[in-house]
Every structure is written in structure tokens, then in C-alpha cells.
Structure 1
Amino acid sequence: MKIQDLPIVEQLEHAISVVQEGVTVCEADEQLYKEAIFALEQANRTEEAIALALRARKSFPQLRYFELWEALMLPVLYDTDEQIDHYRARYSAGLAELISGYNLDSGDRRAALDAIGRHLNFYLGYQGHDDRKLQEQYARFVHAVMAANYPEWVKPLEMPALRPGEKIRVGFISAHFRDHSVAKLFSGWLRELDRRDFEPFVYHNGQTVDAVTEDIRHITGHFRHMPGVLEPMCQAVAEDNLHVAVFLDVRHRRMMMMSGLRLAPVQCVAWAHPITSGSPTLDYYLSGDLMEPEDAQDHYSERLIRLPGLGVCYPKPIIPRPLLRKSRADFGLGEDRIVYLCCQSIFKYLPQHDDLFVRIAKRIPEAQFVFLALNEAVAKDFMTRLRRAFEAQGLEATDHCVILPLLGKFDYWNLNLVADVFLDSLEWSGGVTTLEAIACGLAPVTLPGRYMRGRHTYGILTQLGVTDTVAHDKDEYVEIAVRLGANRDWRTDVISRMKSNHARLYSDTKCVRALEDFFRSVVVG
């Protein structure tokens, strides 16, 4: 079985056994339950995690977050299409029952605040469906909880008057102002925002700081690092009397809670979380025109703002040369193989698309697909699913598939440099990963989906002006992947044209100028 460092699987299983035994033999302990449920959830043992959350809910009825956790839990990785439908229906029913079970006019409001403060509504968007209705239901619940606890922060706000010479105050809020995809995507906004007209404020709620954090601190005159707190952060935003607040992402507990308040007259959310927030207190969704389908507004509760291009000013990654510290063999890859890099988060890979790898392998016998897994238990489940798909066509998955653990930045770039072709995931596309793959000299194969989250790579290639590897259906996806793998001359030509057009893709400031115009329009009309 080609899952690297397989003994760690056994370590994880042992850890789960220990916490499960602790729950069984020890006096009921909240922290022990949390550790056991989380371990099972992350190991993709969803039904066991749900059962244990239900047991914890009965042992600690006053702790409502166990109830929320149990009702809304979703798998990390799905085994079948039917399993997606099952868990989606379960989530929908659980959310409705959960909301109806709270009386926020009573003592429930503090318990509800504690519950939403511990829950991350993360995996819903990876099922490949239209999530607007469910997102709105959950966001309205969050807003109701926040309004019950902080009525002073949900009232409509007047737009602060601009005195002559005064700048428009824009707040950028995130828990990820560090070496993270959020900061990578949106620090260009901060860097390029015209300081003659705008005064940026940055609010970093995350615990981690690094060189990226310090860089962002230096490019803004107002940097608030308030790790792990909610109320002081809200107070700081409110006291700065912003004209506009921009939540760079709401896929974080405290960010979702804050976005349910009214802390600025105009509040926006950016596309780091490429799905509608559903929040009644987020007014605008800041996206990129090239990634959005024609009917895009229907997918958002917010008013959609289609900034030019990708909507981000993303600098070209500086890939150190020579970076090749590791060979293919170090990654478990063959020197004589055609290596297809499939580096998206493992939960982006849906079972209905496993056939793509099989179809490519039947045409390219030397094809080797390399994936990165969240942990070894999930890797094992994914390999089981792949094996089933390959065996159905008379092939062995382990002859073609390698699953690696998550890699550090330089090892990850090194992996890009030793690969031949980049295969984009369907339904939820690569963003930063695609931008980095192109900088490393890889040509991505992509099939744009129905929703923006499945169209990042399509937008990137469109802005780049090289769309040879954009497919219109799964059959064409396979044809393009096979041609890139088999025809080195064509692959070299595509990559050469991409490199020639890098200036069209990276550090594009047109979106920042459009963002400034948008800010002016909502502040001064």
C-alpha cells in the first residue's frame, strides 16, 4: 500500500483507542469527550463520532455545543454519492431541529453563544451542491444568537461623514494574517490600496504570527493583534468608526460570530471562503469576475461585486532556484513515470469523479497520481475508495496512486517541480495551489464547475490567456490530461506560453483600483 509513513496510522488508531477507553472507564469529563469526538471525526469515523457526541450531549445537557456538533457533523471524506445525499439530508434536518430547540429570550442565549463559538461549519461546501439555503439558515441562527447576547452591536449604523481631507477607513478582519492562503490572496489589497484616499485598519484574531504577519503589520498604520478573543475585538472594530469592514474569511468560529454583528455601516466578505456566508449583516460579496458564472448572484445572499479578473492582486511566488533538494524517489515516485500532481485538500475529491484517474491510467500506463492527505487514517479511506474504482476497470490503484502527508512549503514546491502535470479537482477548484503550480512551471487541467468555488483555475487560466487545458466535460478533461502526459512537445509549448503571460496574472492591480471605486461608491455615493 503506497501510503507514506503508514505506521503513523497505527499511532492514530492507538490514540483513538486510548481516549475512547478513557471515556468508557473514567468519570464523565467534558475535555475527554471533546478529544475523543474530535479524534474520531478527523479520522473520518463519522458515525462513531456522532454516537459519542450524542452520549456527551446526554452527559452534559447544559453544554449545548455537543448538541450542535452532533447535529451538524459531516464526514471528512465521502465513500459514495449516496453517502453525500445521506449526510446532506441529515445536516438539513439537524439544523432545522437545532434552531427550533433554542429559546434565545431565556438562559439559552449564553449556551447558544458558547455552542456557536466552538463550532466550525466547515465541510458543507465540499459536497458540490448549492448551499445558499443552508448557509442562510445557519447564519441567521448565528445572527440571532449574537443579537441576543450583544444587542448594542446589531443596530444599523450611520455612515460616518467624511470631512475635507479625511480618508475612508476600511477594516480588514481575519484570523489568518500569517503564512496562509487568506493572507496570500488578499495582502495585495492592503499593499496596493491608495493611501491618499484610504486608511486601512487590520484586525488579526489568530494566535499565530510569522514573517507574513510582520510584513502586513509594516504596510498598515493600524494593526490590531487580538488573538483568540471576541468581545475586545468587536469593541476595537466598533471604536475605530470604520466606513467599511471587510471580512477576508468567515470559515473561522470567531469570524463567523463577528460577521453576525453590525460593526460598520457597510460590511463585506471576500472570496477566501468561496461560498456565500448567508449572513444578514454582510452586505456585499467581493469576488472575481472571471470566476463567476452568469447566474452567480443567485448563489449569494450578499450583493455580488465582480471585481476585474480574479479579484485579487496576487504576487508571483518566488520559487528559490535550485530548489530540488529532493528527487522523485524521495516522494515515492518513479523516474520513468508521468507524474500527475493532485494536491488539493483531500475532502475536495468526490467519489463520482474517481473514474477520471482510472481513465487516464488506462490510456497512460506509466501514469502516477500523487495526493496529499489530511492524516493517515483519511489517506487509508481514500486509497480504499480509489482501489475500488481501479479494480472495476481491471487495474490496481497502488500501481498508480501515491498518497503523501501534508508537506512544508519548500517540500511542497519541490514536489511541484518534479511533477509533469497538475490535475485540478472538480466542484471545488484550486486557487493558491494553481497559482503556485503555474509559477513552478506546471500546466493545470481543469473543468469549471457550476459554482464559483469550482471555477478558480478556469479564471486563472482565462486571465493568463492560455486556455488550452480548460475542458468542457469529463471526457475532454481526460483527453487533455492524456495529451499533456504523452506529448512532451505540446506540454512544453503550453507551459512556455503560460510563462510568457505571467505578467497578466500576477500582481494585477486592476482589481484594487476597482475595489477602491467600490469603497468610494458605498461611502460617498
Structure 2
Amino acid sequence: MQFEVVVPVRPGDRDRFPVPADDSGHPARSRTVMCTDGRLSRCWRDAFAASDADVVVFKHDDLQILQWRDFAERVAKHLGTGPIAGVAGAAVYSPSFGRWWRGLPHRPTSLRGRVRHLAATPGTTTGTAAAVGERSGSANSGPAECTELVFGPPGPAIVLDGCLIAVCRNERLLADAGWTVDELLACWDEAFGRHFYDVAFTYNASLRAALSGRPPACWVVDTPVLHHQPLADRHDEDPEYAASEASFIRRYGRRPGLNAEFIARAAGLSRIPATDFGSPAASATDARTRHRGQVPVPPPHGGPAAGSVVDRVHQLKQRGRIAEAVWLLRRAVSERPHEVGLRVLLAHTLMETGHITESLQLARSLLKDARTRAEGWNLIGFGLVEQARLREGLDAFHQAAALRPDNNRLLSNILFSSLYADHLSPREITELHRKLALRIEQNVLRACEIAAAGSRQPVNMRRSTPGGSSQPDDPVASIRVPGGGGNEPHAEDGAADTENAVASEQPVAVAVSCDRFRVGFLSADFRRHPVGYFLRRLLRYRDPRKLEVWCYHGADGGDDVTRALRQTADHWRDCGALSDSELARQIRSDALHVLVDLGGHTAANRAGVLVRRPAPKQVVYLGYPGTTGLSCVDAIIADPWVVPAEHGPLYTERVYRLPRCFLCYHPPENAPEVAPPPFRKRGCVSFGSFNHLSKLSDTTVRLWARILGEIPDARLVLKALALTDPGTRQLTARRFAEAGIDPQRIDLLPPTVPLERFLAEYARIDIALDTTPYGGGTTTCEALWMGVPVLTFPGDRFAGRMSASILSAAGLTELIAASADDYVRRACDLAHAPERLEEYRRTLRDRVARSALSDGPRFAAAFFDVLQTIASG
């Protein structure tokens, strides 16, 4: 096994990092890399990408640890359980360690010498040795092979400054562990330089392992590898440390270290995953699976009841701790395999995290039980659509709806997925929406009749029960799962007359001429989501003297976008816990002029509220790119590009068009700088798309294959959540191979988080290619902001014409093709024009910022003028 030791140095440093020879019989070589900006994450990632060794060892301090006689054997042993091994490199410090160490007249250079010197120093802490070290022994004798932690003067301990990480680079060994080189490269977080770079890396790798059910990615050799413990004294001495810690907390939602009290109690922790974010109260028992950033602490007595598991899972998901939710569900399912509700929730959670193959396997097992058969087909539909197997996915959704025609969530899933289908014409999609929207309305009205007549117990019309049933024997009745809209259970057949059924719930008309125009926005996506992003400038630049805004937030929890929107609204209603009828009463009491629905038939929609007519005018906007088919929706807000005049008959709503683009872009505050075009380094052009994989229709594959066929050295970069799944990557590669493109020319990448890192990945792409018939919206704006031109071919439906609208508003109509052939020609012309690519890289961000696409004041004025026109009509 070939080892390479990489040591980063900064400009001005003398070469003070001799790498000791490894005497274990394993060949080793070393090199230094210049770290000009102090960002060790970037240095290490680039060094890893460039290395041809089997194992790359990263070290920036305490290189004496490499003198261990069996260092290579230890690393190799632990690389057998995952792609990363970590080794403790320095001492456990106290807050005063730095001042104390600098004051020593003689500083030992070897680790063994430090141990002996520390042990002979009066006041050296020895009391915690037995609690932390594996064999520890006496501090006076020192650890036999430098494998235990050593101790400084009295005081709270912090863990391991100067740790070492060894990462497997051998692709065959990685494949055996279920990893790829690209997945490891994605774990480096460039936001961190001198502090927390190693913790961020090992945290990201551990998280990926937990999400996929693979063995823990990061194991340490004999001692926990953690870089820092936040201490006030350290903050005072090192402002950069404090800033880095604050950045880590913002980025990952947790502190980057172990609490000293936990360390003192953690007797016998010999090997634990590298980024232990354990609770101070955690026991040392089963410590290898106890990570706040990775998996939750199991209950102390036996397995949890299904109900408590469900509640805990939803709490974790609301907090963004999805890996912990997956772990908890896996454990619960293994202990109670016959509780099908838990399997349903695990399958949905795996689907949310991009692990489609495993989710599909679970879904198919649900088909064996009549109680969960509909949900099984629903999950299969989700998985197939995520893999861009659109025809098969729609068939599965139809199977689910045939079994449960009363479940509006299943009907909404059919409608939303139909927008992606290139085998359906726009007219067929419209007729499907008319037909199923009528069924949705009838389901809601039947439920209203049942409740009003008192023939049964009042029906709980909450939209979140997945099986569409409130019957006692429904095994998934209490499991909240994503996808689709309201579930309105009913028990009787026969359609209800719309007007009669809701006559008692009609809204009270409000005079448009009252002091302020009253507008409500209804959505479950007031968060880091396209709806949340595009709504920010609309609300910020409205005229508060003329407009009064309500936001009805249909989800639990929130994030920074939620908080920003809350600050710009006059009234905020958290309504995630309200039934459709309760929410409709709330909206009715607020006496709006117009209610703007931002969900349509997407996940967690509130169609059941719209059917109850809580506002005199109801409008669909932004979140659903097409007709809803609902008779209770009066209007859709669009623009001349997304809904040209000849497309008007395809909408059940009256179409109102804004003069420019139908949306307004709010660029992210923390976007990275625009990177140089990658063709400079690669020597060839890279096309790419960061759209959802479900948009990769057969038509799109054929178009892109034509482009790649015309430019034999060009590459294609795809990044999507579904590409987290190995089976989906293989399927996608096979689709391009069948179209005549060598899969070796295609990079299939999983997503990166947070948003800043995702945007930085546009450094891989020279030209972004839009998809068809469902094109980009948010991704088109983001690509332009990162200096990447987006080439589009406007399709035959709203969803396929959004990029054209965006490009037109940005003054980039030269990137809008007139036909499929023109799309291929323009792509080839642009690929052969490096000077144009350079110019786009230099100018696109400024052009977008100055264009109508980002003109918040003008957009807000035009939007609310349209709403007032709708209200007056």
C-alpha cells in the first residue's frame, strides 16, 4: 500500500516539516503544498485529487506521530472499515496550555519527550488520564507507544490540536467500502482554514456514511480525533478561532467539539467515529454510535415504541438532522420488522435523502400487505420519477390512486409528476388536471358533508396521513410522510355539488377601496426553497402604506429564510398543525382581498383549503408551473414567455401576465466569487446541469448526446440528489451509453451543502444546458450568478419555458434557441468560442444584478398591480 504524506505550508514559512521515515516496511513519500490563502480544506482537497498514492496522509503539526512503529498497519486496519482513518497527534490542552508551553525554557521536539516533560512538570493534570486514555497507565511513566492522550497543567481539557487524517485514494478499495473518490472530495469544506477544517471534513464524511447505511466513514486509531474544544480563553487569545467557531455553528448547527465534562466521563473510549458531537450526559456505553451530528442517543431501556420513534423522527427532520432520523428508523425497523408504518416512514426518509434503490426495495415489500399497498405504489412512483423513469413512475402513481381514490395526496402526485413527462402533450396534461382536480374537489366536499351531517365522528382533515385513511386498522395513519397534498378521507361514494357543499363557508367580500389592499400567501415552503428565495424581494419591496400582507406558513419549524420572510410580513400565521377547515376559517376571519397559493399540487399543498373558498379571489403563483385544474382557483400569474397567448386555452384559470419575468431573483448573500472557466485547466469544454434528475427526460438525453457527439472531447457534469444513489448513477450512465455517449465522459455527482458550497461547484461547468420539457428556474438563476451561461430551448409548457423568461429578463436572449436543432448548434458554437465563455464569466453576475430579473421595486409594484386587477375583476 503506497502512502503519501502531504504537509501544507504558508508563504514565508521555512521548511520546518521533515517527514520521518516510516520503518514499518510500507513505502512512503512526502511532499509539501503551498497554502496561499490559509484554507487548508482547499489545499487538502486539491492534494487528494492530484495524488496517485493508495493512501494520502494529511498533517500540519506534530509529524512525530508518524514514527509509530506500526503506524501504517494501524491506518490500513481502519481503512478496512471505511475510507478514512484518523490519528491523535498532540496533547489534550487546558485553556492555559498555550501560555504555559510558550513559557518553557526548553521545548522537547518529540512527542515522547513532551510526554516525559509534562509528566515531570509540577501541577500536571493526571486525574483524567484513566477516564480518557485507552490503557492510559500512569502519567509519570507516559504512554508506551504514544497512543494515549497526554496532559498539561490543571484545567478543563480540550481535545487534540494538530490531528492527522489518512484518506484512502485507491478506487478499488473505496468501491469495496461503497465509496467513490468524488464523494470524498465533496466532504472538504472550503469555508474553513486554520481551524475546524478537519472536523468539518470528518463530519461531512460521517454524515454521508450515516445517510447511506454504510459503515462509519471516520474511525480513529486508539484515541478520538477532534480538533478543538471551544473555550472562552481561546476566543480571547485568537479572534480567528472565535470567528471560525461561529461560522461552523452557523453552517452545521452544532458546536465543533466535545464538552470537557463528557471527556471526563468517557472512560474506555478507544475507538469512536471522528466527529463525536456527544452530549455531556452521554454514557460511554455504545459510544461508537452516539453522535449528535450523525445518530441519536438510543433510549436506555430496550427499543422505543413506534409512536415515540415517529415523534422523534419528525423532531429530528424539522431540525435538519436527517442522518439521525435515518439511523433511528433503521434501528426501529430492525427491532420491529412487522410494524409496517415504520417501514413506510423509513422508505420515505431514504427517498428524501436520495437513497432511491433501498427505498424502492422497501416500497416493493409494502405491496405484500393490503393495508400498505397503495403507499407502496406511491413510493415506487416517487423513486421511479426521481430516476427519470417518468412513464413507469406515473403508472405506479396511478396504481396507488386506483387503490385509494379518496386520497388527494396520491392524486396530486400524479398531477405534479405529469409536468415532467415528455410522452404527454400539453393538452393531455391539461385534461388530466381537469379530471383529477375535480376528483380532489369532490373528495374534500364529501368529507365536509360527512362532518356537517354528523353521520360519523368529525373527520380530521389534516393533510399528512399517508394512507388516506383514519380507520383504526390503518398501520400508517399516524405516520407523517412527504409528497403531494391534502388527504381528505371519506366513507361514502357519490359526488357533491360544489356550491351547495360550501355555501356556508363562502368568504365575506371585502371592499377593494379600503385603506390597504389585503393579500395572503399560502405555502409550506417559506424556507430554503425556490418559493422562499423568490418571494424575498417581492415582500421586501412592496409598498406597506398600500399593502397589508399575511403569510400562512404550512410547515413546522423554519430557517434563516423563514425568519427573513417573517420580518417582512405584516402578519404571520403558523398553520402546520391546523386542519384544512381550521385554516380556511382562519383565512376567512382575516378578510383578505386575494389569497395567493404558492403550492399547487406540490408536496404539503393545501388544496383542501382552496376548495373551501376562504378568500373572494384565489390565485396560483410561483410554486406550480402549470394549470391546477381546480375550479376554485380564479387566476394564475405568469408572463408572456412562460404562457404566451396561444397557450391560454390550456389553463383552467384566467392567465394574468406580468410585463417582464414572472419572478424576481434574490441572489444569495454568501455566494462565492466567480471561478475561472474550467476549460482553462481541463483543456476541454464541460457542459453541465444541476437540475433535479427527474428533469432528465429521454428527449433531454437525446439532445445532449447530439451535442457531445459533435464535440468529442467535451465532458458533461450532472449533480443531483438522486445521484447519491449508486443504482441511480448506474442507470443514468446506461441511458447515455445507449444514446452513444461513453459514460467515462460524464461526471455524476451527489449534491453538496450548504448553498455556498453548492454554488462553488459551478466552477466545474463552462456551459449549463437546460432540460426539457421541464426546465430550470432556480438553477438557471444560480448558474448565471456564478458566471455560467445557460442555453435553453423553450418547450411546450410553462415548466419548460421558465429559463427563457429568466434569460430574456437578464438581457441574454442569444442563449434562447428557436428549435432543437438550433439548441444543438448554439451549444456547439459557444463551446468553440472561448473568448465568449471568458466574457460571460467576467460579466454575467453584474448583468444579472443590473437587469429586470433582480429589479425588486419594479417587480413588486407590477405584481401587486396585477393582484388588484384580479381582485377588481
**TM tier, smaller:** 0.7 to 0.9
Task: Measure the CA separation in 2 of the matches of 1:184 and 1:208.
Answer: 17
Residue 797 of structure 2 aligns with which residue? 451
TM-score w.r.t. structure 1 length?
0.81
Whether the 8 Å CA contact 1:203–1:225 is kept in 2: the answer is yes
What amino acid is aligned across from residue 797 of structure 2 in structure 1? Y
Secondary structure, counterpart of 2:826 in structure 1? helix
Say whether 1:52 aligns with 2:365.
yes
What amino acid is aligned across from residue 400 of structure 1 in structure 2? I
Say if 1:268 and 1:483 are closer, same or farther in 2 by CA, change over 3 A.
Answer: same
Task: Measure the CA separation in 1 of the matches of 2:430 and 2:366.
Answer: 27
Unpaired stretches in structure 1, ≥5 consecutive residues:
103-111
Which string of whole-angstrom CA distances, capped at 9 and with x for unpartnered residues, describes residues 301-322 of structure 1? 2222122222223334445454
Q: Of 343, 352, 369, which residue of structure 2 is paired with 1:33?
A: 343
Task: Measure the CA separation in 2 of the matches of 1:297 and 1:307.
Answer: 14
Larger RCO (CA within 8 A; separation ≥ 6): 1
Q: Of 491, 494, 503, which residue of structure 1 is paired with 2:837?
A: 491
Residue 551 of structure 2 aligns with which residue? 202
What amino acid is aligned across from residue 835 of structure 2 in structure 1? D
Secondary structure, counterpart of 2:432 in structure 1? helix
Residue 733 of structure 2 aligns with which residue? 386
Q: How does 1:291-440 map to 2 (within 5 A)?
A: 291-318=642-669, 320=671, 322=673, 335-376=682-723, 378=725, 380-390=727-737, 393=740, 395-440=741-786
Task: Measure the CA separation in 1 of the matches of 2:519 and 2:572.
Answer: 12
Task: Measure the CA separation in 1 of the matches of 2:524 and 2:578.
Answer: 11
Secondary structure, counterpart of 2:813 in structure 1? coil
Residue 377 of structure 2 aligns with which residue? 70
The percentage of aligned residue pairs carrying the same residue is: 21
Whether the 8 Å CA contact 2:711–2:828 is kept in 1: the answer is yes
Residue 237 of structure 1 aligns with which residue? 587
Whether the 8 Å CA contact 1:200–1:221 is kept in 2: the answer is yes
Whether the 8 Å CA contact 2:381–2:395 is kept in 1: the answer is no
Residue 446 of structure 2 aligns with which residue? 148
Whether the 8 Å CA contact 2:383–2:393 is kept in 1: the answer is no
Task: Measure the CA separation in 2 of the matches of 1:163 and 1:276.
Answer: 26
What amino acid is aligned across from residue 229 of structure 1 in structure 2? L
Task: Measure the CA separation in 1 of the matches of 2:387 and 2:518.
Answer: 49
Which string of whole-angstrom CA distances, capped at 9 and with x for unpartnered residues, describes residues 442-485 of structure 1? 11111110001001111112222322222223332222222222
Say whether 1:125 aligns with 2:474.
no
What amino acid is aligned across from residue 247 of structure 1 in structure 2? D
CA apart distance, 1:23: 7.6
CA apart distance, 1:505: 2.2
Whether the 8 Å CA contact 1:9–1:377 is kept in 2: the answer is no
Say whether 1:507 aligns with 2:855.
yes
Say if 1:524 and 1:36 are closer, same or farther in 2 by CA, change over 3 A.
Answer: closer
Say whether 1:523 aligns with 2:836.
no
Q: Of 250, 259, 266, which residue of structure 1 is paired with 2:617?
A: 266
CA apart distance, 1:120: 8.8
Whether the 8 Å CA contact 1:177–1:183 is kept in 2: the answer is yes
Q: Which structure has the bigger radius of gyration? A: 2
Task: Measure the CA separation in 2 of the matches of 1:80 and 1:179.
Answer: 23
Which string of whole-angstrom CA distances, capped at 9 and with x for unpartnered residues, describes residues 251-292 of structure 1? 122423333331111111113221222222211111222222
Whether the 8 Å CA contact 1:423–1:445 is kept in 2: the answer is yes
Secondary structure, counterpart of 1:468 in structure 2? helix
Whether the 8 Å CA contact 2:672–2:760 is kept in 1: the answer is no
Query: Could you say what the CA RMSD is over the residues aligned between the two structures, in angstroms?
Result: 3.9
CA apart distance, 1:328: 7.2
What amino acid is aligned across from residue 132 of structure 1 in structure 2? T
Which string of whole-angstrom CA distances, capped at 9 and with x for unpartnered residues, describes residues 81-113 of structure 1? 9x64455456457646643xx5xxxxxxxxx58
Task: Measure the CA separation in 2 of the matches of 1:3 and 1:349.
Answer: 24
Task: Measure the CA separation in 2 of the matches of 1:441 and 1:228.
Answer: 42
Whether the 8 Å CA contact 1:373–1:379 is kept in 2: the answer is no
What amino acid is aligned across from residue 631 of structure 2 in structure 1? P
Secondary structure, counterpart of 1:171 in structure 2? strand
Task: Measure the CA separation in 1 of the matches of 2:840 and 2:666.
Answer: 21
Residue 256 of structure 1 aligns with which residue? 607
Quick check: which one's helix share is greater?
A: 1
Say if 1:379 and 1:364 are closer, same or farther in 2 by CA, change over 3 A.
Answer: farther
Secondary structure, counterpart of 1:267 in structure 2? strand
Say if 1:214 and 1:372 are closer, same or farther in 2 by CA, change over 3 A.
Answer: same
Q: Of 568, 573, 577, which residue of structure 2 is paired with 1:219?
A: 568
Whether the 8 Å CA contact 2:343–2:362 is kept in 1: the answer is no
Q: Of 177, 181, 198, which residue of structure 1 is paired with 2:526?
A: 177
TM-score w.r.t. structure 2 length?
0.51
Task: Measure the CA separation in 2 of the matches of 1:78 and 1:163.
Answer: 44
What amino acid is aligned across from residue 347 of structure 1 in structure 2? S
Which string of whole-angstrom CA distances, capped at 9 and with x for unpartnered residues, describes residues 468-504 of structure 1? 2222233322222222222112334556675446323
Which string of whole-angstrom CA distances, capped at 9 and with x for unpartnered residues, describes residues 333-379 of structure 1? 96434222311011110123223333333333432221112244645
Task: Measure the CA separation in 2 of the matches of 1:80 and 1:196.
Answer: 48
What amino acid is aligned across from residue 211 of structure 1 in structure 2? D
Task: Measure the CA separation in 1 of the matches of 2:573 and 2:729.
Answer: 41
Residue 107 of structure 1 aligns with which residue? none
Task: Measure the CA separation in 2 of the matches of 1:72 and 1:139.
Answer: 21
Secondary structure, counterpart of 2:663 in structure 1? coil
Higher mean C-alpha deviation, range 90-99 or range 139-148: 90-99
Whether the 8 Å CA contact 1:383–1:397 is kept in 2: the answer is no
Q: How does 1:74-85 map to 2 (within 5 A)?
A: 74-77=381-384, 84-85=390-391
Q: How does 1:3-22 map to 2 (within 5 A)?
A: 4-5=182-183, 12=212
Whether the 8 Å CA contact 1:117–1:253 is kept in 2: the answer is no
Task: Measure the CA separation in 2 of the matches of 1:400 and 1:516.
Answer: 45
Whether the 8 Å CA contact 2:551–2:573 is kept in 1: the answer is yes
What amino acid is aligned across from residue 181 of structure 1 in structure 2? P
Secondary structure, counterpart of 1:74 in structure 2? helix
Say whether 1:283 aligns with 2:641.
no
Secondary structure, counterpart of 1:295 in structure 2? helix
Say if 1:368 and 1:288 are closer, same or farther in 2 by CA, change over 3 A.
Answer: same
Residue 137 of structure 1 aligns with which residue? 435
CA apart distance, 1:296: 2.1
